[in-house]
Amino acid sequence: MKSEILATAFLGLAVRSIISLYSYSGFDTPPMHGDYEAQRHWQEITVNLDVGEWYTNSSNNDLLYWGLDYPPLTAYHSYLVGRIAKSIDPHFVELHKSRGFESKKHKRFMRATVVTADVLIYLPAILLVVYCMEKTFQSNDKLFLFMLISVYPGQILIDNGHFQYNNISLAFAAVAIAAIFSNRFYAASFFFTLALNYKQMELYHSLPFFAFLLGECVGQKSFTSFAAKISRIATIVLATFAILWLPWLGSLQAALQVLHRLFPVARGVFEDKVANVWCAVNVVWKLKKHFHNDQMALICIGCTLIAALPTNALLFKRRTKISFLLALFNTSLAFFLFSFQVHEKTILLAALPSLFLLKWWPNEMIMFLEVSVFSMIPLLTRDKLLVPALVSTLAFHLIFKCFNSNSKLNEYPLKYFSIISNIVIVSIVGASLSIPAPSRFPDLWPLIISVISCGHFILFLLWGYFQHFTCKIS
């Protein structure tokens, strides 16, 4: 069995290596370049400046040029990678002079850092979740699930193509999920705190963790046990936060500056065309004409909580593995659809629990995962990653069909929805490649893709709620 697991991991690494050969975000597009340059610039800043200056605007740290806007654990990771980069070639991270640095040697180094995180953190983390899910699962089922997760195109295209390190925060979240499954609640608290301190978007997963752990504490037989358990969890979370934020805790202004960078309300409700409700509404009713950013932020918070709280209230009462995964799926999808300042890539946060739900609802989840890649087509097209996106998604679909041939779409609503959805998606992709957008509406195809994807995600949120409130699986 170990050889099969190793072979599956190498398959995932092979796909990542192939996609790494393609272009990346911002390649040869000055003056700002793209996410690749953002990650490189953070290495430059953290290596050359004192830790207290990392989030502060100065002559050496122009926050308008890819200023750090992720939590401290990302900054520490950038520092570590930056030190390695400097030891290989100081030009990679030379202060000021390395802006927009691009070379084949540097690309190989940057790509290697992502693959290293996949090998050391992400793939072991998802394997851990798969083997903690159900004792009743057969080994072949677990191996197949690990294979599907390891070759899921969305995460690979963004991290190994577009260029980011979502694999690290998702890996910490996955280990926290595995800890929940194993009743190791203190470990779950620690690893989820790490995930949240790597990327603030892990707030998408925070309510289910909070509801589950609070429910476990409240469910203790005595007040003494309740107080002891919740105190230990709170101590772990607060101590982890304190250690990671220590350089900024000596000054309220410094801590607030970091928070300001993490939650930039001034940017507006969305930037590019993204497959959520606000972008779809904005097509017919311009939000910026009716609401200031502060007002819109409050509206987003309210709508997100309304969409997310019921599934977490149910999780608080019924704490099972499947209930936890469904709550994670519903909550992250609610956050994606309704929250403030959403990016295309944050659909990966809903994709994580959906990957683990494949065992119970394979046809529904494979459809969701494929739509998640479809929703990112405008971003991937800009990065010249359309070909690997289409090929890897087709391969992902064929692997699922080959190893899941016994699973058929017998339910007619799902069967017809799947057929119609596939026809629409293929037609839109084909049309966008063959029919130029009119000069009057240059963003026509990205907008159509966003709205169609948003419609799918709303239906999946309704489906997730239906399953959570009616599911009999323990």
- pLDDT of 389-402, one tens digit each? 999 999 999 999 88
pLDDT of the residue at 407: 56
134-137 CB contacts, 8 Å cutoff, 24+ apart: 134/321, 134/359, 137/359
CB 211 within 8 A of CB 316: yes
What pLDDT does residue 2 have? 78
Percent of the chain with pLDDT over 70: 97
Q: What is the pLDDT of residue 368?
A: 97
What confidence tens digit (pLDDT) does each residue in 318-371 have?
A: 999 999 999 999 999 999 999 998 999 999 999 999 999 998 999 999 999 999
Determine phi and psi for 82, rounding to 5 degrees: -65, -40
Indicate whether 159 pLDDT > 90: yes
Confidence band for 409, pLDDT divided at 50, 70 and 90: low
Residue 267 pLDDT exceeds 80: no
Residues 6+ apart with CB under 8 A from 349: 170, 201, 202, 204, 205, 332, 335, 336
Higher pLDDT, 427 or 417: 427
Residue 415 corresponds to which tokens in the numbers above?
A: 């069967």
The secondary element (H helix, E strand) that includes residue 266 is none
- Asked if the bond preceding 31 is cis, omega within 30° of 0, the reply is yes
Query: What does the alpha-carbon distance between residue 168 and residue 166 come to, in Å, rounded to a whole number?
Result: 5
**How far apart, in whole angstroms, are the C-alpha atoms of residue 53 and residue 51?**
5
Percent pLDDT > 90 in the chain is: 79
Token pair for 40:
């490189």
pLDDT at 136: 59
Instruction: Specify whether the backbone of 268 is left (phi greater than 0), alpha (psi in -120 to 50) or beta.
Output: left
Torsion angle of alpha carbons 71, 76, 78, 84, nearest 10°?
-170
CA distance 349 to 347: 5
Answer whether residue 406 shows pLDDT above 80.
no
Residue 290 has pLDDT above 90, yes or no: no
Stretch 449-471: mean pLDDT? 95
Here the tokens at position 347 are: 């659909």
Contact 354, 369 (CB under 8 A): yes
220: left (phi over 0), alpha (psi -120 to 50) or beta: beta
For range 42-68, the mean pLDDT = 95
pLDDT of residue 183: 94
Q: Please give the pLDDT value at position 139.
A: 73
Read off the pLDDT of residues 181-240 as tens digits, 9 standing for 90 and up.
999 999 999 999 999 999 999 999 999 999 999 999 999 989 999 999 999 999 999 999
Using an 8 Å Cβ cutoff, are 58 and 416 in contact?
no
* Residue-range domain boundaries for the chain: 2-27+102-470
Question: What is the pTM for the complete model shown?
Answer: 0.95
